[in-house]
Amino acid sequence: MNWIQVLLITAVVTLLVYLLRSRTNAKAKAWVKLGYVLFVIAAVYAILRPDDTTVVANWLGVDRGTDLLFYALVIAFVFTTLSTYLRFKELELRYARLARAVALDGARTPKD
């Protein structure tokens, strides 16, 4: 086994433990956790037998497994960016409502 394989496997497993230990918002997170377990299994397999990704890539009409992983990474990145953007917008709205409540509480009326 290569050193890089040891490092990568340690990294994904550590992340898995970390994710499984956090238990906020049970139901929504449960699916994320299941998805991540599947991801870890696939990742460990791909790390141990990197050439097999090329086989999968060939099924899909891609030359190298590396390219396939790269495409998947780009898609995942765009998805993450957009969902982060939307979450930020949502937070901004809540923050605006909070600031509005504060502003309305402190309204000043002119003395006529």
Backbone torsions φ then ψ of 25, nearest 5 degrees = 50, 70
Backbone torsions φ then ψ of 33, nearest 5 degrees = -65, -45
Number of Cβ within 10 Å of residue 65's Cβ equals 19
- Give the nearest distance from C-beta 28 to other proteins in angstroms: 14
User: What's CA 92's distance to the chain center, in Å?
Assistant: 21
Query: Binding-site residue total for other proteins (CB under 8 A)?
Result: 19
Q: Which of residues 63-102 bind other proteins (CB under 8 A)?
A: 85-86, 89-90, 92-93, 95-96, 99-100, 102
Q: What does the binding site for other proteins look like in residue numbers (CB under 8 A)?
A: 85-86, 89-90, 92-93, 95-96, 99-100, 102-104, 106-110, 112
